[in-house]
Amino acid sequence: MDTMEREVNSAALVACIQKKPRADASFILDVSVEAPPGITILFGPSGAGKSTLLDCLSGLVRPDAGKIVVGESVLFDSALRIDIPPQKRGIAYVFQSLALFPHLSVEQNIEYGLRDIPDQDRRRRIEEILQAFGVENLRQRKPAQISGGERQRTALARSLVTEPSLLLLDEPLTGLDAELKAAIVEDLRAWNVAKCIPILYVTHSREEVDALGDRVIAIDNGRVLSHGAPMEVLDAPRRKRLAQAAGFENLLDATVVDLREQDGVMRLRLGEGACEIEVPLAHAAAGDHVQVAIRAGDILLASERPRGLSARNVIEGRMTSLEQRGTICVAGVDCGVMFVVHVTPGAVRTLELATGKPVWLVLKTHSCHLVD
Amino acid sequence: MNSLALSFELAACVAAILLLIGTPVAYWLAYTHWRGKFLLESIVALPLVLPPTVLGFYALLAMGPRGPLGKLWMALFGHGLAFTFSGLVLASVVYSFPFGVQPLIASFEAVDPRLLEASAVLGSGKWETFLRVILPLSLPGVVTAGVLSFAHTLGEFGVVLMVGGDLAGVTRTASIDIYDRVQTLEYGEANQLALLLLAIAFGVLCLVYAVNRRVWTPAWTRWSAK
Tell whether A98 and A236 lie within a shared domain. Answer: yes
Tell whether A97 and A212 lie within a shared domain. Answer: yes
Q: A359 to each of A114, A348, B121, how far by Cα in Å? A: 65, 12, 58
pLDDT at site A1: 41
pLDDT at site A103: 93
Judge whether A52 and A212 are in contact, CB under 8 Å. no
Tell whether A223 and A256 lie within a shared domain. Answer: no
Measured distance CA(A244)–CA(A238) in Å, rounded: 11
Give A81-128 pLDDT, tens digit per residue: 999 999 999 999 999 899 999 999 999 999 999 988 888 999 999 999
Q: What is the pLDDT along chain B (226 residues), one digit of tens a residue?
A: 588 888 899 999 999 999 999 999 999 999 988 888 889 889 989 998 999 889 889 988 888 888 888 888 888 888 878 888 888 999 999 999 999 999 999 999 999 999 999 999 999 999 999 999 999 999 989 999 999 999 999 888 888 888 887 777 778 888 888 888 898 988 988 998 899 889 988 988 888 888 877 655 554 444 443 3
On the question of pLDDT at A246 being above 90, the answer is: no
Tell whether A298 and A365 lie within a shared domain. Answer: yes
Question: Per-residue DSSP letters for A247-289?
Answer: T--EEEEEEEEEEEGGGTEEEEEETTTTEEEEEE--S--TT-E
pLDDT at site B204: 86
Per-domain boundaries in chain B? 3-213
Give A205-241 pLDDT, tens digit per residue: 777 777 776 788 988 888 888 788 777 777 666 666 6
Task: Please report, as a single letter, which amino acid is at residue B194.
Answer: A
Domain-terminating residue out of A218, A241, A264: A241
On the question of pLDDT at A274 being above 80, the answer is: no
* ipTM reported for the complex, 2 dp: 0.79
A31: Cβ contacts below 8 Å, ≥ 6 apart: A15, A16, A17, A49, A53, A219, A222, A223, A224
> Nearest residue on chain A to B136, judged by CA atoms?
A103
Partner residue opposite B125 with nearest CB, options A87, A99, A112? A87
Give A23-79 pLDDT, tens digit per residue: 767 788 999 999 999 889 898 887 788 889 999 999 999 999 999 999 888 999 999
Nearest-neighbour CA in chain B from A246: distance (Å) = 29
Give A149-203 pLDDT, tens digit per residue: 899 999 999 999 999 999 999 988 877 777 788 888 888 888 888 888 999 999 8
Give A299-311 pLDDT, tens digit per residue: 888 888 888 877 7
Tell whether A277 and A184 lie within a shared domain. Answer: no
Measured distance CA(A68)–CA(A72) in Å, rounded: 11
Q: Would you place residue A4 in the very low, low, confident or very high pLDDT band (cuts 50, 70, 90)?
A: very low
pLDDT at site B118: 95
Tell whether A78 and A221 lie within a shared domain. Answer: yes
pLDDT at site B216: 52
Interface test with A, best of B33, B115, B121, B134 (most A CBs within 10 A): B121
Domain-terminating residue out of A209, A241, A273: A241
pLDDT at site A24: 64
Q: Is A13 or A226 the better-scoring residue by pLDDT?
A: A13
Domain-terminating residue out of A213, A241, A269: A241
Tell whether A260 and A190 lie within a shared domain. Answer: no
Cβ contact, residue pair A60, B223, below 8 Å: no
Interface of A with B (CB under 8 A): 58-60, 85-89, 91-93, 95, 97, 99-104, 112-113, 115-116, 142, 144-145, 158-159, 162
- Pick left, alpha or beta for residue B123 (phi over 0 → left; psi -120 to 50 → alpha; otherwise beta): left
pLDDT at site A186: 85
On the question of pLDDT at A6 being above 60, the answer is: no
pLDDT at site B166: 76
CATH number at residue A344: 2.40.50.100
Partner residue opposite A91 with nearest CB, options B121, B128, B226? B121
Domain count, chain A: 2
Report the length, in residues, of chain B.
226
Domain that holds residue A102: 2-241
Q: To which CATH superfamily is domain B3-213 assigned?
A: MetI-like (1.10.3720.10)
On the question of pLDDT at A297 being above 80, the answer is: yes
pLDDT at site B215: 55
Nearest-neighbour CA in chain B from A145: distance (Å) = 7
Tell whether A61 and A183 lie within a shared domain. Answer: yes
Cβ contact, residue pair A86, B121, below 8 Å: yes
Cβ contact, residue pair B117, A85, below 8 Å: no
Tell whether A233 and A281 lie within a shared domain. Answer: no
pLDDT at site B225: 38
On the question of pLDDT at A281 being above 50, the answer is: yes
> Nearest residue on chain B to A99, judged by CA atoms?
B115
- Residue B113 near chain A (CB below 8 Å): no
Measured distance CA(B101)–CA(B81) in Å, rounded: 25
